[in-house]
Amino acid sequence: MNTNNMCAENIKVDPEISDEDLEIFFKVMSTELADWQIQQIITPSNIYPKQKQILAVHWHPEFVPMNLVSQRIEAMFPNCKDEMLIPTQHNELMSYGRYTGVEVDCYASGFNQKVQLLLHFENEKIEKAHVLKSMLAHTFKYRSSQLFEFMDSITKPIEKRVHEAARKTGADKNLVEMVKIYVTKIQTMLEDNWSDISKASIKNKLLKNYFDAMRPKYGDTLINRAQAYLKAIKSQVKTDFSLKFFYRATEIIEETHGLGGCVVIPHPEEFWPILLAKYDVDGIEAWNPQSQRYTDFLISVINEQNANRASGSKEVFIFMGDDCHMSEKTKPVCTQDPVKAAREIGLQPAWDDLNIRKKLIMAGIDRQSIIKDYKARLAG
């Protein structure tokens, strides 16, 4: 059968959950790593023997064990002499070496938008961070609820979202029905196996991963159409998702600084007004694999602000963020997102870009100086 030419109108999906459905579900939900996945994780595609320092304060281990992360980093940068590595899992504190970090979703009331902040700590400073941990647990639970709203939009269904997504992507009624049946099955399997699955797997990308796992059965053309339709619905869910249950950015910043931690604004291109909010932050990410357009401008602005800051006020550090998601390294190469797969912990070409280097040199900044100064600030 030529799966690449499959059309939704020629497919009849049994609404009953089959053994095949369960096999795909548990495979997608599993956080256990097969031997081939471990080998893929610890064997990077490229090696950077000339890089002597690693500064990585924005990356997501997800379900990949830290010992495997460490092996990959050591293989990539065999001649590293100094490093500062802080994981920033979404809404969940995680530690690597001396440091603990998190990327937290919060609410910027001044311009009515969800934003993210990176929080960094020395490990001992979060031992009694009971309030922050409760805030993060609340945020994690609320953020995870978006998946269920996403699924309900398809299965209830929420007609406005379904019609709009179908209109934007050209999904016909057969494709819409096919997706609805499979998402209904996924919902049922989640409910039936709730106590046995890792909560780390309960994310919006569950649906994407499940449909990707059906590529051998249905082919790329049909699954790509289904993914486009799913993405259009997810976009509407995110747009409509209430912000009132997130903590305000100022509350997160105050709690972090009260514990002796530091706060960095990641990928500001995604929410420009945050740079005008004058939040009390310790650093700004001037470069990110998905935010590169205004790197020169951001560096110039931060340099100017630092040069003109009031006496006694702290310097705002310039960071480059690799924003690596380690789960991407666990997928078969044929199903990886090539853009996301190219991201690596500690790989930030901006530091070595000749044009960007001009501005960094003028400010006396490089990886080594940021590592030294940021370690000192976190030490308090």
Phi, psi of 299 (to 5 degrees): -60, -40
Is residue 251 in a domain?
no
Q: What are phi and psi of 263, to 5 degrees?
A: -125, 135
The domain containing residue 102 runs over which residues? 35-129+259-379
Q: Is residue 254 part of a domain?
A: no
- Pair 90, 40 in one domain: yes
Count of C-beta atoms within a 10 Å radius of residue 297: 11
**Predicted pLDDT at 88:** 98
- Does residue 196 belong to any structural domain of this protein? yes
Tokens 């939704």 identify what position? 8
Confidence label for 4 from pLDDT (cuts 50, 70 and 90): low
- For residues 150 and 237, is the Cβ–Cβ distance under 8 A? yes
What residues does 119 pair with on adjacent strands?
102, 263
Read off the CATH number of the domain in which 280 is found: 3.20.20
Which two structure tokens, joined as six digits, stand for 370?
A: 């940021």
In a domain, 134, yes or no: no
Confidence class for position 3, pLDDT limits 50, 70, 90: low
252 contacts: CB under 8 Å, gap ≥ 6? 104, 106, 117, 119, 135, 263
In this prediction the pTM is 0.91
Residue 137 lies in a domain: no
- Give residue 111's pLDDT: 87
- CA–CA gap between residue 357 and residue 353 (Å, rounded): 6
- Asked if residue 7 is part of any domain, the answer here is yes
Nearest CA-CA partner of 289 in 330, 232, 346, 251: 346
Q: Per-residue pLDDT tens for 197-224? A: 887 788 878 999 999 999 999 999 999 9
Q: Domain boundary at 189, 206, 240, which?
A: 240
Structure tokens at 151: 């699924």
Q: How many domains does the chain have?
A: 2
Locate tokens 């006396």: which residue? Answer: 364
Residues 21 and 152 in one domain: yes
Q: Is 297 helix (H, G, I), strand (E, B) or coil?
A: helix
What is the structure's pLDDT at 310? Answer: 87
Question: In this structure, are 236 and 266 located in the same domain?
Answer: no
Task: Tell me the pLDDT band of 5, cut-offs 50, 70 and 90.
Answer: low
Cβ atoms 41, 329 nearer than 8 A: yes
More confident residue, 356 or 277: 356
Neighbours of 306 (CB within 10 A): 16
How far lies 58's CA from each of 31, 45, 185, in Å?
A: 22, 21, 35
pLDDT digits (tens, 9 = 90+) for 30-52: 999 999 999 999 999 999 999 99
In a domain, 252, yes or no: no
| Assigned domain for 135 exists | no
pLDDT of residue 1: 46
